[in-house]
């Protein structure tokens, strides 16, 4: 029986079909979907900030940061039977939710850059992305098909 597994902010989950991973309200946060298409093991992480080394409590909340959550997600997927060498990524989010004149405050853009750097460090290619711009997104990830469905009130739905 299929279940929708909800990933909250600063959270991650892994599953096998027929389960579906879903995360709501990605604004400046980034959702990272990983898949081993051979074993159909999928994972989704909802990161809030780019870099744990800049935070006073980074070690206490590793799922909040791109640099610590992505390695955790990979490890959880491997425990479920995924092969690290077959993992592929799809990412969404990283929007600019507030108009600002300072790049320093563009957390969405910094999150996307940090996610890309962390995936590169893990050797995981990004095969699809829907990032940036100025609207929130909800992501449904289907490990059985590898489809990442993005729902955005402002832009409708799309599948990557």
Kindly list the catalytic residues: 29
- Count Cα atoms within 13 angstroms, Cβ side, for 5: 21
DSSP reduced 3-state for 109: helix
* C-alpha closest to that of 74 among 115, 103, 45, 112: 45
Backbone angles phi, psi at 53, to 5 degrees: -70, -15
Which residues is 14 bridged to in the sheet?
43
């Amino acid at each position: 029986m299929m279940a929708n597994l909800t990933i909250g902010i600063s959270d991650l989950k892994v599953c096998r079909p027929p389960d579906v991973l879903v995360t709501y309200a990605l604004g400046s946060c980034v959702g990272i979907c990983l898949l081993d298409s051979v074993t159909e093991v999928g994972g989704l992480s909802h990161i809030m900030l780019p870099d744990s080394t800049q935070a006073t409590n980074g070690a206490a909340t590793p799922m909040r940061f791109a640099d610590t959550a992505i390695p955790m997600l990979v490890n959880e997927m491997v425990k479920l039977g995924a092969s690290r060498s077959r993992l592929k990524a799809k990412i969404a989010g990283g929007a600019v939710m507030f108009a600002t004149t300072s790049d320093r405050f563009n957390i969405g853009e910094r999150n996307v850059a940090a996610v890309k750097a962390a995936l590169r460090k893990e050797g995981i290619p990004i095969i699809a992305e829907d990032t940036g711009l100025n609207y929130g997104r909800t992501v449904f990830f289907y490990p059985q098909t590898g489809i990442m469905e993005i729902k955005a009130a402002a832009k409708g739905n799309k599948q990557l």
